[in-house]
Structure 1
Amino acid sequence: MNHRYRQIHIPLICALSLSITACDGKFFNTEKDSKLSAEHVSKLIPARVKDRDSWANDIIQITDELKITQDAQNICTIIAVVDQESNFIADPVVPGLGDKAAKEINQRLEDKLGTKMAGYFETMLKTKPTPEDNYLNQIRKVKTERELDQLYREMFDYYSKQYHVSLLAGAAKLVGQDVAENFNPITTLGSMQVHIHYAKAHKRSFMTINQLRDNLYTQNGGLYYGIHRLMMYPAKYDKPLYRFADYNSGMYSSRNAAFQKMINKLADTKLDLDGDLLLYNKDGDAKLQKSSTEVALIQYFSTDPTAPSARTIRSDLKDEKSQAFEDSVTYQYIVKQYEAKTGQTAPYAVMPKVVISGPKLSRDYNTNWFAERVNGRYTQCMSRAKHLKLT
């Protein structure tokens, strides 16, 4: 499962920043002079970044549009993630991307199309549009995600027209779908690496999927959807580190990992603290199959007739990607039992333990590595803000 996108639709009933509480979907605080200007933001962006003023203007415009308070904490949160994900380059070069993509494409095709149709596609890769400048050679030459993305779209457009994919028995399930989109391996895009499903669910205006993809590769588009994903959900975290972890492993993963940790303490289980309370398919939809967390809850609750039923547990866990889960019977029951047993305040968040892997990475990492790296950039930004007397 792709842990970069483990949420689809998040109700924006109450937006919170890292340290600012709100109840009307807007970020605010009580200090009238805390609002930063584009000039201030430009000075907070690392000096090595080209066109700092341009990036700063876009950040101010987007935070205005999303009604996010433009104080040092929020702006530094945004700057830290952008810098970690792309070093403030709208369409950054990814070392070795072409070779990695060329190596992976055959396996991906066989998994999706089956051996026979994958064979047709492989032939096309090696011979079209010309034998000398074939698609496989073009893949090896790409340097950025945008180049690879656009090449995939071109290839699948040619393939679908040449082989009439929607009529093929082996691809019947693709009827009515965008074939290129279904097969496109580029799922996280732009300067803030936003999942295409998230961007699609929160489009700022009507556009086709290809137009949306192209927009994500622009400076403003990449920032808009990344800032939306990072900031536009409420969480009671006491430090930005957990929001950074969530950006990598999924909304509320840090809170949910703490929930799993409490279950381990109460039920003497060894659940992975991955922040996923249900099992999901590649599209982010919950599976009917019970997760280890759900099974552990059912078994633990079975000894108490006053505990939530299996049906209630399932219903509550479906809210795991929203703030509403904290008010559920299941969550509150675990919190109460934990505090009664330990005499300690229930933890609201812990670091999720999720491995990060993919063709764009030189090796596997984990969420803690990502969050700590971003937090280091955040701390540097806040130090600059303090030096500039912006806090």
Structure 2
Amino acid sequence: MSLDTRQDRRDVVKRNHRLGIVAMLLAVLGGCATPSGPQRNVRHPEEVRAQIVRLLPFGTRDAQGWATDIYAAFSALRLAPDDSNLCAALAVIAQESSFHADPVVPGLAAIAGAEIDRRAGDLHIPKFAVSAALRLKSPDGRRYDERIAAVRSERELSRIYEDVIGSVPLGRRLFGDANPVRTGGPMQVSVAFSEAYAGEHSYPYPIDDSIRHEVFTRRGGLYFGIAHLLAYPARYEQPLYRFADFNAGRYASRNAAFQAAVSRASGIPLALDGDLIRHGRENSSTPVGATELAVRALGDDLELSDAQIRRDLEMGDRPEFGDSRTYRRVFALAEQMEKGFLARALVPRIHLESPKITRKLTTRWFAERVDQHYQSCMARAAGQGRSGKRSSASRSQARR
């Protein structure tokens, strides 16, 4: 080998070495410039509020106020204000109250009167005694029967019941300490959920006497309603199932799919209602619910004891149930039998019951109605982008 050839090789080696050092330096610098986690696309609050105003139905009163309270809820709950999340919240508000902070309930006075009569009948309290009690003056100067006759919203009715329970001797006998108004506000969120959530999380506003009272305000109703809808992890491929959960309870759609898998594997028909265990029936002759009994019937195939099954099913209102042995083994067994994949989410089959409901409605009806609002909102969001005003098409759609 000639000296020239050796020299050429040495030059190539040196050049490659230098290139390698440069590449390493670039890699180090690049690594320093790249964040360790995914970058968050942080948007200015004014930009988000402006987008919410554009997404609101055409003609919404106090649109700026709604946008402010909705954004405040997202911020306090640390939820991403992306199109999907915003439209999910707006869809539920549209369905539950048509963007009225204290929605009017048709026939509420008659509903309240019937509830009082029913409770009095159950307790064998004579009608004349109830009538006499309701003719007493209430704290606002009117008689109770006058206030009930004029009641138009759940907020008003809730206050009446509070006064009856606190001031009328017969009131505590009729209602105990339990106010019959269980939901309220622009998203019709559960008062019980709101009170429990406030006990575990910091509420971002000064409390007006009680969490119950806050639920009936726009800001409080939105905060707790959006928390109930979005502030929990769920492996759903479609928002439809969150809408169903909003009506039936968190993880009800996941649990209904689990019940379907149990039914497939065991051959035992089950109500796909999302309730995995029997609640509040310690004195019942059958303290174990149908779903739990059906899973127990599979115990040998699942290699799980009754106690293990019970412990897992008790996590039915938590995300951890989806990773439990009972959940995973039931689906594995059912899919082995079916020789195919089974859905991990189903809209629960629940018939809605409430004095306010005058026709046959189901959780599926509710979820699909909300989903229609959601799809319309997403279409508006896609049409307007981040900066433009509403197009004429989106304004026309909003009017419809």
Could you state the TM-score of these two structures normalised by the residue count of structure 1?
A: 0.80
Opposite residue 227 of structure 2, the aligned amino acid is H
Which of 348, 352, 364 is the aligned partner of 2:348? 352
Q: Secondary structure at the match of 1:239?
A: coil
Shift of 1:261: 0.6
**Deviation larger for 30-39 or 187-196:** 30-39
How many residues of Structure 1 are paired with residues of Structure 2 in the alignment?
Answer: 341
Question: Equivalent residue for 1:293?
Answer: 291
Deviation at 1:336, TM superposition (A): 1.1
Measured in 2, the distance between the counterparts of 1:81 and 1:383 equals: 16
Letter in 1 for 2:249: G
Say whether 1:139 aligns with 2:148: yes
Task: Say if 1:127 and 1:232 are closer, same or farther in 2 by CA, change over 3 A.
Answer: same
CA distance in 2, matches of 1:287, 1:388: 59
CA contact (8 A) 2:165 2:177 kept: no
Query: How far is 1:31 from its partner?
Result: 6.5
Instruction: Report the CA distance between 1:211 and its aligned residue.
Output: 2.2
Q: Is contact 1:98-1:141 (8 Å) kept?
A: yes
Q: How far 1:30 sits from its partner (Å)?
A: 5.3
Residues 121 and 215 from structure 1, CA distance in 2 versus in 1: closer, same or farther, beyond 3 angstroms?
Answer: farther
Match of 2:102 among 91, 111, 121: 91
Within a 5 Å distance, the mapping from 1:271-282 to structure 2 comes to: 271-281=270-280
Distance in 1 of aligned mates of 2:167 and 2:76: 39
Compare CA radii of gyration and give the structure with the larger one.
2
Question: Contact 2:113–2:148 at 8 Å: present in 1 too?
Answer: yes
Provide the residue aligned with 1:41 in structure 2. Answer: 52
Higher helix proportion (structure 1 or 2)? 2
User: What is the CA–CA distance in structure 1 between the aligned matches of 2:245 and 2:275, rounded to whole Å?
Assistant: 11
Kindly tell me: are residues 149 and 163 of structure 1, through their superposed partners in 2, closer, same or farther at Cα, counting changes over 3 Å? closer
- Spell out, residue by residue over 1:205-235, the C-alpha distance to the aligned partner (whole angstroms, 9 max, x if none): 4988952222111111110010111111111
Paired AA for residue 230 in structure 2: M
Q: Which of 367, 370, 386 is the equivalent residue of 2:366?
A: 370
After the TM superposition, which segments of 4 or more aligned residues of structure 1 sit over 4 Å from their partners? 28-31, 33-36, 118-121, 205-210
2:161 aligns with one of 145, 152, 164: 152
Cα distance in 2 for residues equivalent to 1:278 and 1:144:
34
Q: Unpaired segments of 5 or more residues in structure 1?
A: 1-27, 166-170, 172-178
1:25-104 mapped onto 2 (5 Å cutoff)? 32=41, 37-104=48-115
Q: Distance in 2 between the 1:228 and 1:265 partners?
A: 34
CA root-mean-square deviation: 2.8
Q: Which moved more, 1:28-37 or 1:79-88?
A: 28-37
Instruction: State the partner residue of 2:27.
Output: none
Q: 1:185 aligns with which of 180, 187, 211?
A: 180
The answer to whether the 8 Å contact 1:354/1:367 transfers is yes
Same amino acid, percent of matched pairs: 33
Q: Bigger relative contact order, structure 1 or 2, given CA contacts below 8 A and separation 6+?
A: 1
Check whether the contact 1:357–1:363 (CA below 8 A) recurs between aligned residues: no
Tell me the SS of whatever aligns to 1:148: helix
Deviation per CA, 1:264-286, whole angstroms, max 9, x where unpaired?
1111111011010112239xxx9
Which SS does the other structure have where 2:271 is aligned? coil
Larger mean CA deviation between 59-68 and 181-190 belongs to: 181-190
Give distance in 2, aligned partners of 1:30 and 1:80: 28
In structure 1, C-alpha distance between the alignment counterparts of 2:134 and 2:156, rounded to whole Å = 19
Alignment counterpart, residue 128 of structure 1, candidates 136, 139, 163: 136
CA distance in 2, matches of 1:109, 1:229: 34
Q: Identify the range of structure 1 (58-67 vs 134-143) with the bigger mean alpha-carbon deviation.
A: 134-143
Q: CA deviation at 1:332?
A: 1.1
Structure 1 residue 244 displacement after superposition? 0.2
